[in-house]
Structure 1
Amino acid sequence: MQLSLSLFKAGTQADTADTLSFNFNIPNPTKAAKLRELAASMQKTIDAKLNPAIGNQRATKRRKRIAQGIIAEGMELQTIQSWLLAIAQMWEMGNIPEVLRGISQKSQVETLFRISQQGKTPQELQETLNVEYNQDWVNSLNHASIYNAGEIVSAIREIQLYVKPQEISTTQQELNKLELEIIGMTWKDFFPTPPDVCKRLIQLAEINENSRILEPSAGSGCITKAIVEKYPQVDLEVVEINPTLRRILELKGFNLVGRDFPSYTTDNLYSHVIMNPPFSQLLEHIYHAWKLIKSGGILITIVPESVFFNRKYQDFKEWLESWNAYDESLPKNAFIKSNNPTGVTTRIIKMHKP
């Protein structure tokens, strides 16, 4: 049966557009807990959409566009989740408006959110809801005891009173946007380290709770993120020169201590330097990293396979041998899974400083 909407139904909260009428009542922790449970059940889907698997595949414009759409969906779900949590908080505090008391399902909150994105006046909203294909919206809100366009507008306003746009964290949104921008970024030697390679670097590094670690030319923080996930309390610092990549590192909460690595100095030397240096400045970065490691410390670095057969690296190879460096070949296509893929064959070098 099609709903006939009245914008001026007696007793609705839309009678005065600028006034929100709160009906104070007894807190209901049971209803609050149910809404919080619904919000929590969304988290796995939100996380998956904010970090789509397609974003980790070989970069193409099409994949980047698809990933952007998936992340946008994740951001919308984050807002719907925040609306559920806002209504839960109202029940906990005992100030739930009458127009929101019937909400018990995620679909009802999602309907309100979708309507709020249309930017319609109450009159336009009435016309929209009277269209047959929108009856699912009408039925969903009817089950929440929301019966007309005026009440819909009022319900949305009551929620937005608790969830103001400026209160919704934009950090993840900015981070997702920037990380999509850098997919396929052609900037110097920017080839983010794939997860499997990060894992192997950490396995070789002999990290413990007292380690003090530096990642030079940290890029988007792939290695640093892998370290923090396994050793969350470790003392870890990063250096990066590119402004966009620096902003990404800041948004991820990493401790930036320098810009141009070859000119970075510190009196507080590191127990570990773990790095994927720019191959165009390979030797400069590795020699400088060695200076920043204290006695007993470890250097772990990725190098191109060419180091071991190109004559121009002869002095460097002799230097490695003088420190009894360990080297390990990575799989041939190890960096094909990078956000900026390359077919360059690589090795890992590990060195202990006496």
Structure 2
Amino acid sequence: MKPSVYRRPAKPLYAPVTRRRDFEALPKAESVEVVAVDRATECHVTPPDVAARMVRYLGAPGDKLTLEPSAGTGNLSRALIESGHSRYELVQVERHIRLAGMLHGFGSVINRCFLEYAAEARGKVEFPRVIMNPPFSDVRKHIAAALSLMGSGGHECAPRVVALVPLTFQHPDAEELEQLPDDTFANAKVRTKIIRIYR
């Protein structure tokens, strides 16, 4: 083979490239923080659409002190704020320390077990409004604790609690508002419903 085959050309070879400037700008990707909650907390996150409906069942926004026991990831709190309820009237109780730390943007946070908090607060504070998605295994205790903290708080309208509970939960004063689809909670094979109780 001839040595000239291996010689480089006298001038460098360039391929013409045309730069296009008509591409649409890509939106900046935002990272989503993943919150890992251990199974023992029984944190079943309320879907945003269900939370929004629960807030509507609770009633129109006003200057009424509102309690969210076992606030979890804050979906009920977020729905309250987005619908016009005041963050200054919202009290959230959550025992999981990391979840409690994420709730400060919505209102005041009490980092405690709700049952312990209710036992200490009974007779010292009245909540005209309660919205809750309690742990399913202790739902009766949590509903009873919430009802024990309810009162008019100086308002004329009847105090009320709106709760997401297992379908099997019964209370003599509970009004069943809707049954939720079976796949509402992927990690819990529990059929659920939304109820309202007036005091």
1:240 maps to 2:94: yes
Work out which of the residue numbers 192, 195, 198 in structure 1 matches 2:48.
195
Work out which of the residue numbers 186, 193, 199 in structure 2 matches 1:347.
193
CA deviation map 1:153-173 (0-9, x unaligned): xxxxxxxxxxxxxxxxxxxxx
Q: Comparing both structures, which one devotes a greater share of its residues to helix?
A: 1
CA deviation map 1:210-250 (0-9, x unaligned): 22111001011110011111115351110000111111113
CA distance in 2, matches of 1:253, 1:215: 11
Offset, 1:254:
2.9
> TM-score when scaled to structure 2?
0.74
Offset, 1:257:
2.9
Residue 135 (structure 2) aligns with? 278
Offset, 1:260:
1.1
Residue 146 (structure 2) aligns with? 289
Query: Would the aligned equivalents of 2:94 and 2:109 in 1 still touch at CA under 8 Å?
Result: yes
Q: 1:228 to 1:289 in 2, by over 3 A?
A: same
Aligned-residue identity in percent: 29
Residue 306 (structure 1) aligns with? 168
Does the residue aligned with 1:283 lie in a helix, a strand or coil? helix
CA distance in 1, matches of 2:27, 2:126: 42
Query: Would the aligned equivalents of 2:63 and 2:86 in 1 still touch at CA under 8 Å?
Result: no
CA distance in 1, matches of 2:60, 2:127: 12
1:334 maps to 2:180: no
1:223 maps to 2:76: yes
CA distance in 1, matches of 2:125, 2:35: 35
CA deviation map 1:101-134 (0-9, x unaligned): xxxxxxxxxxxxxxxxxxxxxxxxxxxxxxxxxx
CA distance in 1, matches of 2:163, 2:106: 23
Runs of 4+ in 1 over 3 A off after TM superposition: none
Residue 79 (structure 1) aligns with? none
Q: 1:253 to 1:181 in 2, by over 3 A?
A: same
Does the residue aligned with 1:181 lie in a helix, a strand or coil? coil
> TM-score when scaled to structure 1?
0.43
Instruction: Structure 1: state its 5+ residue gaps.
Output: 1-41, 51-70, 72-175, 308-316
Offset, 1:343:
3.6
CA distance in 2, matches of 1:352, 1:299: 7
CA distance in 1, matches of 2:131, 2:86: 17
Q: Comparing both structures, which one devotes a greater share of its residues to strand?
A: 2
Does the residue aligned with 2:39 lie in a helix, a strand or coil? coil
CA-atom RMSD in angstroms:
2.2
1:326 partner letter = E
Residue 155 (structure 2) aligns with? none
CA distance in 2, matches of 1:241, 1:192: 15
